[in-house]
Amino acid sequence: MNGVRFAGGGVVIPHFHKPSACLLHNGWFCADWLRQHWGDTLQPDLIQHIKLTLLAVGIGFAISFVLALIGLRFRLLDLPLGAFSDFLYTIPSLALFVLLIPLTGLTVTTIEVALVSYTLFVLYRNIVAGLRAVPADVLEAARGMGLTRTETFLRVELPLSAPAILAGLRVATVSTISIATVGALFIAYGLGQPIYDALQQPDIFRTELVAGGGLAILLALTADALLALVQRAVTPWTRAR
Amino acid sequence: MRTEAAELVFDEATKVYPGREGAAVHELSLTVPAGEICVLVGPSGGGKTTALKLVNRLIPLTSGYIRIDGKAIGDYNITELRRSIGYVIQQVGLFPHYTVEGNIGVVPRLYGESRSWIKARSAELLDLVGLDPSYAKRFPAQLSGGERQRVGLARALAANPPLMLMDEPFGAIDPIVRTRLQDEFLRLQGELRKTVVFVTHDIDEAIKIGDRIAILREGGKLAQYDTPMQILDHPVDEFVADFVGRDRALKALALQKLGDLKLGEGVRDGLPRLPAETSLRDALSFLLAERQEAAVVTGENGKPLGVVTREDLLR
Amino acid sequence: MIVSSLVIDAFRFIGDNGSLLLSETGQLAKLAFASLAISLAIALPVGLWLGHKHRGLFLALGASTLGRALPSIALIGLGIAVLGVGFWNVSVALVVLGVPPILTNAYLAVDGVDRDAVEAARGIGLTETQILTRVELPLGLPLILAGIRISAVFVVATATIAAVAGLGGTLGDVIVNQASYGEAGVFAAALCVSAVALGTAGLLGLMQAAAFRRMTPRT
């Protein structure tokens, strides 16, 4: 059968061990299950999820950056480009996955394309806003001092818009990590898998749900904190008062 | 420090903005001798800022020539031209993400100067513009308006340019600090002897700063180009007389010092004493306020040089 | 072309199953709007008041990051695991996702209103409530509406996922049930969901644009 299917499937509760009391009562946090399945389920899913996110944010950033430069260079295009990224963002993720499947099939590419298209909204807006907010007097001084266009861009405009760009990257990364879980509904990949597996069990397998969801949240918050540290490190002047 | 300066010549320099009627700068011809300060002054719409920006080609010439040391600006590589001209603007335009030292080092870095060279140069320039060396590591956001403009000046001086363009550099600074900055700028110029083009809308600042003043009228036409004293004493027409103001005689008095006058005889004890550096304007004000007819002018160590009377001041 | 024939089939499906899709779309809209209304009722007053007091920046920003980080599907699963399946049970999960963007934007909108305007209002004797409703609210309106718009997009998108997790009667159950409805049916349902989302976002976008236009003086 080709087409839409559920991720995972099958019974996850191991039969070859005597189930613990916690598992029998469908507990929220059964340490024995987590220990047993960290290696064969959770860790590989987490690594897949990280790969998925890095690729989506990386590609999204590259596309947004080029689009932002186009939008800044040709003012007329800024409005349609902004509206387009806005439009992509408003398509519900579930629907977008379905709409993409006829084009890209049941592959990880489908998830990537959807995730990339969601990052454009935040990244495009933030890059444009950041570059546009560089004060006119600073640009005039740069020109008057004999900085070339490239020098002005690399030494003045880009660093000055770094706070806005990094803020956008933080939002995009956190959102991507969260939205990527939805993709596992169609394509078994990433931290969405344990979550769906859990939902598939009669009565919902609580420990796996908490493990998958918890890891996704933890990953998002860790990524956010790391990017916040980067932001702090590369923009010391924003704290000078 | 090297004290090199360039001669700047405007030769029928004209700027017409496309789609706008009339010229912004109309056939401007004047020569700024090397090492002198030329102040461009006039009402808004006089094209003074446009004239300034023609020099570093921030605005392209429509016709005519501008020459630096005999070479037309169009014959310079535009980047080289700008890097060799110090540029100071009213809003300063410091780079917010660079420290004071980083800002001063922008052009030297592009020239490939070493870190240590820039550090030393920045310390030297901070001292020159009257800022403590501890300012080197501060960011622009941590400076007052006056301090920022000092750093702006230091940054413009960093590559030791033979020509400086200053567009209302003290325009956004409160009057007390502005006076101090003007005084320090003049002291600095006494040491450096750069060629300076200085734009202002304030005639008093022009008179104080300029070796020569170019008064531009609407449509970018040069009304008069002369020394401050000549402009105050002999305005060429109604427009210039109007622009320098009804109190131009008093302004002229302010430019001269008691020591410049031929002093009379008759030093005696009852008369008040005034040092030779006192301006004629202050001296007159003093005599009027004290209801005195004359005063003794004193030189170094209070040595009497002669007597000045109200009549002498008003001549 | 397979794709174009799929699109044609999808529209045929919409024609043939109009009443099913209509009722499911209606149910989806009801779930989304009810959740959005509850989110508004909770987040707007809190955000506005905190912004007015210029207090709780950490809460406002933390809420937005946490709100983004919560995987919607896990949250709905959690809601179902704790409360069971049901309209209002699912809307609890939707509200948890709907609150943060509204709260954060309301806070930032009011917090960012020109302090001089607020001081002038206080100077001419407006009460704190009057300052909030007559000065800060209108001035911050575009940003507030932007937050509501993002929240609406979140809630509509997540409402479809709710169906996947067990709540029947919304379009999501069609989307994940290719066995019964075929590719065309799945595609058609996805189109309907997108229509609801885009319609809601578009409506709020127009309001936002109108608010912006009112803020900017015409020359």
Hey, are the CB atoms on A144 and B139 less than 8 Å from each other? no
Q: Give yes or no: residues B242 and B265 share one domain.
A: no
Q: What's the one-letter identity of residue B143?
A: L
Establish if B95 touches chain A: CB-CB under 8 angstroms: yes
Would residue A12 count as lying in a domain?
Answer: no
Q: How many domains does chain A have?
A: 1
Please tell me the least confidently modeled range out of A43-47, B206-210, B268-272. B268-272
Closest C-alpha among A66, A182, A57, A70 to residue A122: A57
- Over residues C26-49, the mean pLDDT reads 92
Residue with the bigger pLDDT between C15 and B287: it is B287
Chain A closest-CA separation from residue B253 CA (Å): 38
Residue with tokens 């899709």: C21
The closest CB to that of B79, out of A146, A159, A240, belongs to: A146
Q: Give yes or no: residues B111 and B167 share one domain.
A: yes
Task: For residue B107, give the chain A residue with the closest CA.
Answer: A145
Cβ-Cβ contacts under 8 Å, A86 against chain C: 201, 205
pLDDT at B91 over 50: yes
pLDDT at B2 over 50: no
Of the candidates B199, B229, B252, which is a domain's last residue?
B252
Residue with the bigger pLDDT between B94 and A6: it is B94
What gap in Å lies between CA C191 and CA C199, rounded to an integer? 12
A contact test, residue of B95, B101, B109, B151 with most A CBs within 10 A: B95
**Contact flag for A and B (3+ C-beta pairs < 8 Å):** yes
Please, are residues A208 and A12 in contact by the beta-carbon 8 Å criterion?
Answer: yes
- Over residues C18-37, the mean pLDDT reads 87
Establish if A193 touches chain C: CB-CB under 8 angstroms: no
Q: Give yes or no: residues B50 and B138 share one domain.
A: yes
Cβ-Cβ contacts under 8 Å, B78 against chain A: 146
Question: Residue A182: in which H helix or E strand, if any?
Answer: helix A158-183
- Percentage of chain A beyond pLDDT 90 is 46
| Residue A18: per-residue pLDDT | 66
Q: Give yes or no: residues B104 and B25 share one domain.
A: yes
Q: Give yes or no: residues B236 and B280 share one domain.
A: no
Please, are residues A68 and A82 in contact by the beta-carbon 8 Å criterion?
Answer: no
Q: Read off the tokens for A83.
A: 């509206």
Hey, are the CB atoms on C198 and A224 less than 8 Å from each other? no
The predicted-structure confidence for C103-140, as pLDDT tens digits, reads as follows 999 999 999 888 888 888 888 888 888 999 888 998 88
pLDDT at C85 over 80: no
Please give, one letter per residue, the 3-state secondary structure of A102-146: HHHCCCHHHHHHHHHHHHHHHHHHHHHHHHHCCCHHHHHHHHHCC
pLDDT at B3 over 80: no
Would residue B2 count as lying in a domain?
Answer: no
Distance separating the N- and C-terminal Cα atoms of chain B: 43
The closest CB to that of A237, out of B83, B97, B155, belongs to: B97
Q: Give yes or no: residues B161 and B223 share one domain.
A: yes
Would residue B1 count as lying in a domain?
Answer: no
When pLDDT is cut at 50, 70 and 90, the band that residue A207 belongs to is confident
Would residue A10 count as lying in a domain?
Answer: no
Q: Give yes or no: residues B244 and B288 share one domain.
A: no
Closest C-alpha among A231, A232, A191, A198 to residue A215: A191
The predicted-structure confidence for A164-188, as pLDDT tens digits, reads as follows 999 999 999 999 999 999 888 888 8
The closest CB to that of B139, out of A138, A143, A237, belongs to: A237
Q: Name the most confidently modeled range: A1-5, A200-204, B117-121, C188-192.
A: B117-121
- Over residues A76-102, the mean pLDDT reads 85
Hey, are the CB atoms on C71 and A192 less than 8 Å from each other? yes
What gap in Å lies between CA B209 and CA B195, rounded to an integer? 13
Chain C closest-CA separation from residue A151 CA (Å): 34
Would residue A206 count as lying in a domain?
Answer: yes
Please, are residues A34 and A211 in contact by the beta-carbon 8 Å criterion?
Answer: yes
When pLDDT is cut at 50, 70 and 90, the band that residue B311 belongs to is confident
Residues 71-110 on A with a CB inside 8 Å of C are 86-87, 89-96, 98-99, 102-103
**Chains meeting B at 3+ CB pairs closer than 8 A?**
A
Please tell me the least confidently modeled range out of A6-10, B48-52, B297-301. A6-10
Would residue A7 count as lying in a domain?
Answer: no
- The CATH number that applies at residue A201 is 1.10.3720.10
Residue C194 has a CB neighbour count (10 Å cut-off) of 22
Establish if A209 touches chain C: CB-CB under 8 angstroms: yes
**Chains meeting A at 3+ CB pairs closer than 8 A?**
B, C
| Residue C41: per-residue pLDDT | 96
| Residue A199: per-residue pLDDT | 81
> In whole numbers, what is the pLDDT of chain A averaged over residues?
86
> In whole numbers, what is the pLDDT of chain B averaged over residues?
91
Chain C closest-CA separation from residue A97 CA (Å): 9
The closest CB to that of B106, out of A137, A143, A145, belongs to: A145
| Residue A138: per-residue pLDDT | 95
Would residue B127 count as lying in a domain?
Answer: yes
When pLDDT is cut at 50, 70 and 90, the band that residue B182 belongs to is very high
- The CATH number that applies at residue B134 is 3.40.50.300
A contact test, residue of C9, C11, C25, C73 with most A CBs within 10 A: C73
When pLDDT is cut at 50, 70 and 90, the band that residue A4 belongs to is very low
Chain B closest-CA separation from residue A204 CA (Å): 53
Residues 6 or more apart from C72 whose CB is under 8 A from it?
A178, A181, A182, C93, C97, C154, C157, C158, C161
> Which region, left, alpha or beta, applies to residue A146 given φ > 0 means left and ψ of -120 to 50 means alpha?
left
Please tell me the least confidently modeled range out of B57-66, B81-90, C170-179, C192-201. C170-179
Q: At what angle do helices C178-215 and A93-104 cross, to 10 degrees?
A: 120
pLDDT at A12 over 80: no
| Domain limits for position B265 | 257-314
Task: For residue A100, give the chain C residue with the closest CA.
Answer: C187
The predicted-structure confidence for A63-86, as pLDDT tens digits, reads as follows 999 999 999 989 889 889 988 888
**Contact flag for A and C (3+ C-beta pairs < 8 Å):** yes
The predicted-structure confidence for A102-138, as pLDDT tens digits, reads as follows 888 888 898 999 999 999 988 998 999 999 999 999 9
- Over residues A198-219, the mean pLDDT reads 86
Hey, are the CB atoms on A137 and B91 less than 8 Å from each other? yes
Cβ-Cβ contacts under 8 Å, A224 against chain C: 65, 69
- DSSP strand pairing (B25-32 vs B85-89): unpaired
pLDDT at A11 over 50: no
Residue with tokens 């030393």: B120
What gap in Å lies between CA C160 and CA C13, rounded to an integer? 19
Would residue B110 count as lying in a domain?
Answer: yes
pLDDT at A9 over 50: no
| Residue C216: per-residue pLDDT | 65
When pLDDT is cut at 50, 70 and 90, the band that residue B157 belongs to is very high
| Domain limits for position A106 | 37-236
Task: For residue A156, give the chain B residue with the closest CA.
Answer: B95
- Which ipTM did the prediction report? 0.81
CA A53, A59, A62, A64 torsion: positive or negative? negative
| Residue A16: per-residue pLDDT | 53
Hey, are the CB atoms on B87 and A145 less than 8 Å from each other? yes
**3-state class of A64 per DSSP?**
helix
| Residue C166: per-residue pLDDT | 65
- Over residues A11-33, the mean pLDDT reads 69
Backbone angles phi, psi at B36, to 5 degrees: -110, 160
- The CATH number that applies at residue B287 is 3.10.580.10
Question: Residue B297: in which H helix or E strand, if any?
Answer: strand B294-298
pLDDT at A157 over 60: yes
Would residue A14 count as lying in a domain?
Answer: no
**Contact flag for C and B (3+ C-beta pairs < 8 Å):** no
pLDDT at A2 over 60: no
Task: For residue A141, give the chain B residue with the closest CA.
Answer: B93
What gap in Å lies between CA C174 and CA B210, rounded to an integer? 83
Q: Read off the tokens for B224.
A: 């008069």
Q: Give yes or no: residues B80 and B167 share one domain.
A: yes
Q: What's the one-letter identity of residue B88?
A: V
Locate the DSSP E strands across B24-72: 25-32, 37-41, 63-68, 71-72
Cβ-Cβ contacts under 8 Å, A5 against chain C: 178
Task: For residue C182, give the chain A residue with the closest CA.
Answer: A3
Establish if B148 touches chain A: CB-CB under 8 angstroms: no
Please, are residues B227 and B36 in contact by the beta-carbon 8 Å criterion?
Answer: no
- Over residues C27-37, the mean pLDDT reads 90
Would residue B3 count as lying in a domain?
Answer: no
| Residue A5: per-residue pLDDT | 34
The closest CB to that of A198, out of C2, C77, C194, belongs to: C77
- Percentage of chain A beyond pLDDT 70 is 93
The closest CB to that of C194, out of A91, A185, A198, belongs to: A91
The predicted-structure confidence for B213-233, as pLDDT tens digits, reads as follows 999 998 899 999 999 999 999
Cβ-Cβ contacts under 8 Å, A140 against chain B: 58, 89, 91, 93
Task: For residue A139, give the chain B residue with the closest CA.
Answer: B93
Q: Name the most confidently modeled range: B44-48, B205-209, C170-174.
A: B205-209
Would residue A13 count as lying in a domain?
Answer: no
CATH match of C2-215 with 3.90.226.10: no
pTM, 2 dp: 0.82
- How distant, in Å, are the alpha carbons of A20, A111, A205, A217, C163 from that of A200? 21, 21, 8, 21, 13
Would residue B62 count as lying in a domain?
Answer: yes
Question: Residue B85: in which H helix or E strand, if any?
Answer: strand B85-89
When pLDDT is cut at 50, 70 and 90, the band that residue A36 belongs to is confident
Q: Give yes or no: residues B233 and B205 share one domain.
A: yes
